[in-house]
Amino acid sequence: MSDIVPDYIEDYIRSLLPGETPALERLRLIAETNHVPIIFPEVRNYLEILIETHQIKSILEIGTAIGYSAGVFAHAMGKNGRVTTVERDERMIAQARENIAKMGYEDRIHLIQGDAQETAASLTGTFDMIFLDGGKGHYIHLLEDCMRLLKPGGLIVSDNVLYKGMIATNALVIRRKITIVKRMRKYLDAISHDPRLMTTVLPLGDGLAVSVKKAIENGKGEYATDEDVFAEDEAVEN
């Protein structure tokens, strides 16, 4: 359970969800048996809806684990979709490669071994969606590269942003998690007030933030750059 909403509500919502593919169900059972954190069922369902309604065809994922969510994305996008996923843990990488092959998604999922910040900084091109599910204390450090790599109108989806309720109240904060909590609060404040984004935080799973990169025209029939958006925001304030 997520610790964010009452168990009886979670149980009821999950009873309404469509089932997983057999391959994804197998991965979920493996994750549960080995205590590997993966996305909650209601988060999976919501992400599938986002992919369908926004016609997502390219996703950058930070935090592969055993490849469950990458498999969800590949299945939801279909044969023309592509997932680039980043993981630094060698044990997880080995399992993810095996699981991706068993799902038959080797041509749809590109797995990169490396540090999230270093890899994000080195990537080029753009993505329709970026899914942050790696180290929770590092989301804030990834934001600017995410903005650079995200298409106008694209989505940044950040998982576990309420972190067992600790982000919302100091009463739940565990001492050894203080740094993560401080950084996550800073991240949520940043994406909630960044003029380049529209953001909502949802009590799904362990907390899910969905941010849309604004597609503002700069008067030349082109999408505005980040500098254009900031300049426009300053002009309004003055």
Instruction: State yes or no: pLDDT of 236 exceeds 80.
Output: no
Q: Is residue 122 a contact partner of residue 54, using CB atoms and an 8 Å limit?
A: no
Could you say which of 3.40.50.720, 3.40.50.150, 3.40.640.10, 3.40.50.20 is the CATH number of the domain covering 7-237?
Answer: 3.40.50.150
pLDDT digits (tens, 9 = 90+) for 106-121: 999 999 999 999 999 9
6 has pLDDT over 60: yes
Higher-pLDDT residue of 31, 221: 31
How confident is the model over 68-98, as pLDDT tens digits?
Answer: 999 999 999 999 999 999 999 999 999 999 9
> What confidence category does residue 199 fall into, taking pLDDT thresholds of 50, 70 and 90?
very high
In this prediction, residues 221-230 reach a mean pLDDT of 52
Do the Cβ atoms of 7 and 1 come closer than 8 Å? Answer: yes
pTM of the model: 0.89
Name the residue type at position 105.
Answer: Y
- 216 or 39: whose pLDDT is higher? 39
pLDDT in tens, 144-196: 999 999 999 999 999 999 999 999 999 999 999 999 999 999 999 999 999 99
Residue 222 has pLDDT above 90, yes or no: no
Q: Are strands 58-62 and 82-87 parallel, antiparallel or unpaired?
A: parallel
Give pLDDT, residue 210: 98
Segment among 20-29, 89-98, 217-226 with least mean pLDDT: 217-226
* Residue 217 burial by Cβ neighbours in a 10 Å radius (0-12, 13-18, 19+): exposed
Q: What pLDDT does 221 receive?
A: 42
Mean pLDDT computed over every residue of the chain: 92
